[in-house]
Structure formats: structure tokens, C-alpha cells
Amino acid sequence: MAICNIPGLNTLRSSDLAVMYSFREKYDAPDRSLSFARWLASIPLWAVFVFCAIIVLYPTLVLAQSVAEREGPFQVLLRWMPLLLTSGFTLNILISFLTMALGTIGGVFLGLAQISPTRAIQVPGKILTHTFRNSPWLVVIFIVMLSIPNEVDIFGQTIPFPDWIKAVLGLSLPIMANVSEIARGAIQSVPSGQWEAAEATGFNRHQILWRIILPQCIKRMIPPWMNWYAILTMATPLVSLLGVGEMVTTTRLAMAAENDRPDLLSPFFGFCLVTFFVYCYPIARLTIRLEKRFAVKL
Amino acid sequence: MTWTTNLPIISIKDVHKSFGPLEVLKGVSLDVMKGEVICIIGPSGSGKSTLIRCVNALNDIQAGSITVEGQEVHDPHLDKLELRKKVGMVFQQYNLYPHKTALENVMLAPVVVLNQDKDEVEKRAYALLEKVRLKGKEDNYPGELSGGQQQRVAIARSLAMNPDVMLFDEVTSALDPETVKEVLVTIKELAAEGMTCILVTHEMGFAREVADHIYFTDRGVIVEHGPPATFFDDAKDPRTKEFLSQIL
């Protein structure tokens, strides 16, 4: 027996009076284009030390259960660290740089295609963008890596395609699609008055785009672009599934060389995690700072 | 047909313009002679801005004809660059390029569009900024200038193309009352030098002072027109009277 009815609790929450809902949710919704950088930048720095402590403690517990006397897991890790960083992580960085460069060039042109007044250019631009933006990265990488031959003969010269180059091509497709969206959004965020003022002084469309609109877009594009760089760098270990000798592949090989000792698992992969974090964390922090600065200045 | 100065520099004949189902201009005709200053006034939404935007082909028209120096504007084979060299336009929101300094704003079109010599354009740009009383502000970015100063840079930017006609689209509507005057002074000086001007404005006092001819538009048609003295003191049409009584 209900003594009183509380709307929304034991009775239907409805009213025939006008109800004003909060606008906060709509206006305070974080800019989704920076979601990754925002999450990464929000991690307090002490979390890393806590994480490192766990990596240190866990193998000690595992070790306590084993009786055999052998080299401690951290001595092993220390021995492998130079190789993991120089031949492993360096390749991740190299892949991320080249992918970003390729993806940015392709993406800007794809973004321009998306806003083209010519439908024959606009429609393919949109299709390409949305296809690669919404496909699983790993599937795209598999298709690209398995469909490109290992070497091509051009004019009697054999040009080899090493795996990591194929990986760059595969990864750059989703990056290209996302940069395309960033570019389209930035171009369309420039007030239409800029187009009109330029048109009224005789600029043609091409001149307006390259001399007036795109220079204004660069600033708007930098934070989301850096966000995607951080995402990309974190995604580079995907290519280890196809045997590219980057950090995760090297780690697995190193552990195999150490007879796959179970106590090495968390130090080695923990080291990978920390390395990626240490590299991407400052990028994320800078992204958020730049975004705030540009937001005020616009 | 070659154009001579005894013919209207701008001739608008029975122009119709619609945005979708909304007919904004319903047969507007007016002539402007070289050196004349005309003001178009009227309530908001009466098609004033649309009309002058049609003159430099920022908007297209559905019917009628607009000629500038004898050249039909709404010809599909129109050389837009030729038209825009002749017709300058200043906007309500200034629309300066925010990433360029005042000087660069003025220089950009002559250098990029007309391929003129950079040093020569720079000299002219300095002179133009001095003319609009902005000497010393050459290296400031638009964000560092007041609304009135930005609007004068916009006027200088338009003048840098050496136009024969200037269109002013409510150029003082977005300004603070105290900076309105400095922009109006600049326009008055231009008019005194013999520049052909078409102004869409809400500044009645200014219109009366500077205009040779006033056009009053309402709901897409020109209701009444005449020299300022006759127009303001001796309006015939009830709609004009009502508008003037509300605004004066």
C-alpha cells in the first residue's frame, strides 16, 4: 500500500506541466574528437609509479613460489632492454611517423574531396572516408599486407616491399580517413563570411581554399590530429600479428629466447606498456593544453 | 554594346530572386550613374542586402537583368574576376582574414588575384591604410583591432582592387555607436572623391547627408524613391511614412 506517490520512484515520472531539461549535458559534452587524448591526459602521473610497483611486486611473488635458483626477472629484462628499445620501439616510432605523414597528406586531399562541389569527386571521397573510418583496423591491415607482393619488378629493377612498409600502408588508411574528417570539419567550421569576402575580391575557389581557408584550419586541426597520432602509436603493435619486428614482436622473441619463463611475462609486457605510456602521455597532455589555448583564441 | 559614362554604371531591371519558395525580390529596377551615391533603406527582410549581393554575383537571380558597365552580371559565361575588379564590397561582419595582419589583408587580393608586383602593392596598401586613418596599425591582426578599425581595414582591402563601384552592406550595423562615426567619415570621404557607392544602411541621418538618391524597399519591391530632401520630408507612400515614423 503506497502511502504517497513519488514521481520517478513508485509512479511514472511524467507531468502535464512544461518541463525544462538541463542544457548542461548538451553543452558540456566533451568534444568526442579528442576522447582518447582526454582520457590519456587525465591519468595522474602517480598511476605510472603504482603500475611499475605492481610489475615489480608480481614477479617477486611468482619467484617466491619457485625454488630453482636463476637470474632474477629484472636482470633478464635489463639485459634485453636496449634491444627492445632500439630495434623494437624505434620501429614503432618510425611506423607511426611515416603512417601519420602518409595519412595526413592523403587525409587532407580526401577531406577536400568531401567538400568538393563536383559530385563525382565528393561521393567517392565520402565513401572512402566512411569505409576506412569504420572498418576494424586489423582487417584493413590484413587486407593490405596480404595483397601487396613482397617485391615488384619495375623496368627490370626489383623493388622490395618489407613487411613494415606494408604495415605503414595498411595503418595509414584508417588514419587517412580520420584526418579526412578532421580536415572536412575544420574547413566547414570557418565562417562563410571568409568565403564571401574572398570571392568578392576576385579569388577563385582554389585560391580561397589554399590561401585563406586552409591556413586558418591548421590551428583547429592540430589538437584532433595529435589525438589521432597518440591513438595510432598505441595501435602500432597490431602489426606484430603479421610478424613485423616491432616492440611487441621483439618482446615475444626475447621471452622465447629465455625459455618462456612465466615470471618474465609481466616485467616484459609491463615494460612495453610503460614505454608506450611514457611516449604518448606527454603528447596527450600537450594536445589538451593546445586545445584549451586555441579554444580561447578563436 | 560598349558602355560610356553617360549611361548608368549599374542598371538593375525587373530583378526577381527567390530562396526556395521564398521570393525575396519581386521585380526591382534601379539605375546608378557614375559618381552617384545611393542608399537603400527598408525594414529587415525586405531584400536590401540580397539586392546588392546580386550586383556582384554573390547571389544569382531567377529573372531580370543586372548590368555593370554594360556587362550582364547574370550571364553564365560571365568573367567573374572582371566583375569583381569593378565592384568592391564591404560586409556587415568585416570578414577580415584573421590569420593575416591589416597590411596583409589589404595586399592579398592584388598580389594573389591580379599578380601585381608585391612592392608596389605594399606601397599602395600603406597609402590606403593611411587614407582610412589606420596609420600605425599595419602590423596588427584583426583580433587586435576594434570593430570600427576592422571595418576600415575591410574598406581599404576592397579599395586595393581599384573598383569603380563600392557596395556597402549594413557596414555599421555590427559596430558600437562610438565607432560608427569613424566608418561613416571614411565612406563620406570616398563619396566626395567621386566613388560610385551603393549603401544598404539603417543610418538615416547619414543617408540624408551623403546620398544623391534614396530607395525604400519593402517586401521585395521598391516602394518609393527620390532625392533625400523629398524622400525624408515629403514621403508619399503610407508604408514609407510608417517606416520613417518608426525610425526617425
| Residue B28 Cα distances to B23, B65, B135, B202, angstroms | 12, 10, 41, 20
Transcribe A252-281 into DSSP letters: HHHHHHTTT-GGGHHHHHHHHHHHHHHHHH
Residues of B in contact with A196 (CB under 8 A): 58, 91, 95
Whether A202 sits inside 8 A of B93 (CB atoms) is: no
Among chain A residues, the shortest Cα distance to B158 is held by A201
C-alpha cell at B76: 553564365
C-alpha cell at A252: 615475444
As a whole number of angstroms, the distance between CA A66 and CA A165 comes to: 43
Whether B58 sits inside 8 A of A207 (CB atoms) is: no
Whether residue B25 has pLDDT greater than 60:
yes
- Given phi > 0 = left and psi -120 to 50 = alpha, else beta, which region is B27? left
Nearest CA to B55 among B32, B36, B23? B32
A212 touches B at CB < 8 Å: yes
Enumerate domains of chain A plus CATH numbers: 90-249 (1.10.3720.10)
Nearest CA to B179 among B197, B203, B156, B204? B203
A260 touches B at CB < 8 Å: no
Name the amino acid, one letter, at B53: R
Residue B34's H or E segment, with its range, is none
Please report, in tens digits, the pLDDT of each residue of chain A (298 residues total): 445 666 656 666 666 666 665 554 444 444 566 788 888 888 888 888 888 887 777 766 666 665 556 677 788 888 898 898 888 999 999 999 999 999 999 999 999 999 999 999 999 999 999 999 988 999 999 898 888 888 777 887 888 888 888 899 999 999 999 999 999 999 999 999 999 999 999 999 999 999 999 999 998 899 999 999 999 999 999 988 888 888 999 999 998 998 888 888 888 888 899 899 989 999 999 998 888 887 754 4
- Tell me what pLDDT residue A134 has: 86
Displacement of CA B29 from its chain's centroid (Å) = 17
Condensed to tens digits (0 to 9), the pLDDT of residues B63-80 reads 999 999 988 998 888 888
Condensed to tens digits (0 to 9), the pLDDT of residues A246-274 reads 899 999 999 899 888 888 888 888 889 98
Interface residues of B toward A, Cβ cutoff 8 Å, are: 56, 58, 80-81, 84-85, 87-89, 91, 93, 95-99, 108-109, 112-114, 143, 154, 157-158, 160-161
Residue B227 has phi, psi (to 5 degrees) of -65, 150
Predicted ipTM? 0.90
Cβ count near A66 (within 10 Å): 11
- What are the helix and strand counts (H, E) for chain A? 13, 2
pLDDT category at B31 given cuts 50, 70, 90 is: very high
Residue B42's H or E segment, with its range, is none
A196 touches B at CB < 8 Å: yes
Residue A210's H or E segment, with its range, is none
Tell me the whole-structure pTM to 2 decimals: 0.80
Residues of B in contact with A194 (CB under 8 A): 95, 97
Whether residue B83 has pLDDT greater than 80:
yes
Nearest CA to A207 among B135, B129, B229, B109? B109
Condensed to tens digits (0 to 9), the pLDDT of residues A180-235 reads 999 999 999 999 999 999 999 999 999 999 999 999 999 889 999 999 999 999 99
Residues of B in contact with A201 (CB under 8 A): 84, 88, 108-109, 113, 157-158, 160-161
Sign of the dihedral through C-alpha A283, A114, B97, B201: negative
If you search the block for the grid coordinates 590561401, which residue do you land on?
A211
C-alpha cell at B167: 557596395
- Tell me what pLDDT residue A293 has: 82
As a whole number of angstroms, the distance between CA A57 and CA A48 comes to: 14
If you search the block for the grid coordinates 566626395, which residue do you land on?
B192
